[in-house]
A and B are shown apart, each in its own frame.
Chain A
Amino acid sequence: MESDLIAVRDLRVAFASDAGLAKVLDGVSCSIRPGEIRGLVGESGCGKTTLARAILGILPPNSARIQGGQVLFGGRDLLTVPEAALAREVRGREIAYIPQDPSTAFNPVFTIGTQIADLMHWKSPLLRDPSFRGNARARREADLARVVEWLRLVQLPNPEALLRKYPHEVSGGQRQRLMIAMALLPEPKLVIADEPTTALDVTVQAQILKLLKGLARDRNVAVLFTTHDLGAAYEICDRITVMYAGQEVEEAPVAEFFNRPSHPYTRKLLDSLPSAETGLRGIPGEIPRLIDPPPGCRFNPRCERATEICQQRPPAELAGPGHSVRCHHRLTEFAA
């Protein structure tokens, strides 16, 4: 589609291990429109972080093998763009990244100000502004003013003093606010937030989600929000994609998704959230080994609705823009 900001088409990524090739992404397709907040939900090992890293081009080069597919962004396939151009033009500038653990993302021996200055040296949007060409000092001053303004926007108290502090001197919530500010300072079109609130307490999580949602809306920045927490996804996402064992299994707008979850795995995932109504319900079995995944539908060994066809033939891939489900026996019927 023309209006998509980024389109991942049939992406296949495998990791080499001693036991063989593990197909961590097996034909994943996913597109995000400008300004959309997209939730990518799944359990450990489902491939959500690999997808995020593949888009950024930061897969571990020694073990990851990209076996096929495209990542279309701004009219090019990012998988074919040379690393130097990717680093110069795309990563951190057009597509920014918010890591899961803000405490390990900073360098402990430099002040926060030094690290933000380094970011601005390479990625400042003012580098593209012709009026600052040849006048680096004026640009640095303008950058500093923008940084201070952004630290206020992410509600950090006393920004000037904060820039002189070291990362260990601020709290986890403040570090994550800094990360959000640093991701948004280069004015990206897409932010990839990889479990940004998992390491945070629930009250801080509420504050950070509120902040991220507000800033993304105000600036029309698209967000790819990976999480294993369906509650957090409900809070901020416009659309939700669920992944299981390297494949997307369900995708829908947020209201539709929670009203009519249609893949048996989604249903079970929702039911396993602890609540007074459902009590304690897990999902029996374990996620399949990705080296030799089960034939047919990958969820069939754990699925109550599985029949013969589920073991023989994989269900059709997600179709698209509405509510789509990869299952032979989906739970609800709906207009495609």
Chain B
Amino acid sequence: MSAPILEVENLRKYFPVRNLWKRRVGWLRALDDVSFAVQPGEILGIVGESGCGKSTLGKTLMGIHTATQGRILFQDQDIAPLKPHQSRKFRQHLQYCYQDPGASLDPRWTIRASLHEPLIVHTELGEAEREARVREILAAVGLPETHLDLYPHEISGGQQRRVGLARILTLKPSVVILDEPTSGLDVSVQATILKLFLSLQQQFGLTYLFVSHDLSVVRLICDRVAVMYLGRIVEIGETAQVFATPRHPYTQSLLAAIPKIGGARVTDTFSLEGEPPSPTNLPSGCRFRTRCPKAQPLCAEQDPALRADWPKQQAACHFAE
């Protein structure tokens, strides 16, 4: 295995909870001791339900939120404590792609202006060099050069999405964080967008952090997957392993909830009750114990750490087998 391209160690992001008089009355632990490493060229899926901290993770890596504690190692440098102007030269190689990248285009700018902007901000390139780079990227995302002089409202939603992606790629990033890139898309369109992601990854040697709640998509395109629950990674491993033999009871419930056409109906078999507790008021010990079918007294006392007891797979559970 080569050296990881991005490494996260004990990352914490706590948001203060304040009362009416702005006094802090507690913490919302959105990320609590999250650690993982990403290898160059891999697609790491980050899955979990709303409120599990997967978007906070992406945003903290990007510096949109400052980390409360912990280290983010990128290009041999801890970028977590850096001030925005210090980290700018690192962050241009680390890009963030919103749910709908097309929606972040300025409606009053031509596509050309939008694509030139990141290069003007981050590089010293002259106009001709910038134009060459822009044309190269535009071809890569499958758009004709004639689109450069159009405005966002003159092209379709799918094309806007492609321009948004092109804009992220102009800076030649090495790691791209994709935040829910397929939610809100019809299945017939989703496949086209996913194929585009995969071909761009090949072409530019990208590494993806694929944040999603859609497990069937993650299963198809991710090399490894991390399952999050209430600010913790509860299971991480190779996608095939995790989907074939999920070890953590939460992962098992999550996989059992996906409807399988032709199989047993989830409405007949699904048994997980309740909803996640509030992240401002976490249970003691294991966070999943309030809903866990395997919970024992030990779970209330001790918070389980990730155990690497299985090949290519780790789970944070006292009783996982």
Contact = CB atoms under 8 A, between A and B. Distances in A.
Interface of A: 43-44, 171-174, 201-207, 209-210, 213-214, 228-232, 234-236, 258, 268-270, 272-276, 279-283, 286
A330 B219 CA distance: 32
30 contacts: A43-B188, A44-B186, A173-B275, A203-B253, A203-B257, A203-B272, A204-B275, A206-B259, A206-B267, A207-B273, A210-B270, A228-B186, A231-B259, A232-B259, A234-B259, A234-B262, A235-B265, A236-B267, A258-B262, A269-B188, A272-B190, A274-B191, A274-B220, A275-B220, A276-B220, A280-B220, A282-B188, A282-B190, A282-B191, A282-B192
A171 B275 contact: yes
B219 A202 contact: no
B216 A234 contact: no
A207 B272 CA distance: 8
Q: Which secondary structure characterizes the binding site on chain A?
A: helix
B258 interface: yes
Interface in B260-283: 260-262, 265-267, 270, 272-273, 275
Q: Which 8 A-B pairs have the closest CB atoms?
A: A231-B259, A282-B191, A283-B188, A201-B49, A206-B257, A43-B186, A206-B270, A210-B267
B49 A202 contact: yes
A54 to B, nearest CB: 22
A174 B275 CA distance: 9
A280 B270 contact: no
B38 interface: no
Nearest to A208: B267
B213 interface: yes
A232 B259 CA distance: 6
Contacts of A204: 49, 275
Q: Which secondary structure characterizes the binding site on chain B?
A: helix
Contacts of A270: 261
A272 B191 contact: yes
A103 B157 CA distance: 26
Interface residues of B, number: 37
A279 B188 contact: no
B1 interface: no
Contacts of B221: 280
A286 B220 CA distance: 24
A259 to B, nearest CB: 8
Given A228-B186, A234-B261, A206 B266 contact: yes
B152 to A, nearest CB: 18
Q: Which of B190, B258, B275 is most buried by chain A, counting CB atoms within 10 A of its CB?
A: B275
Interface in B204-252: 213, 215-217, 219-221
Contacts of A171: 275
Interface string B144-158: 000000000000101
B28 interface: no
Contacts of A43: 186-188
Contacts of A283: 188
A231 B270 contact: no
Q: Which of A43, A171, A207, A275 is most buried by chain B, counting CB atoms within 10 A of its CB?
A: A207
B194 interface: yes
Contacts of A203: 49, 253-254, 257, 270, 272
Contacts of A268: 188
A44 B189 CA distance: 11
A228 B188 CA distance: 11
Nearest to B218: A274
A202 B257 CA distance: 6
B65 interface: no
Contacts of B217: 274
Contacts of A230: 187, 261
B24 interface: no
B18 interface: no
A168 B220 CA distance: 36
A72 B133 CA distance: 61
B195 A280 contact: yes
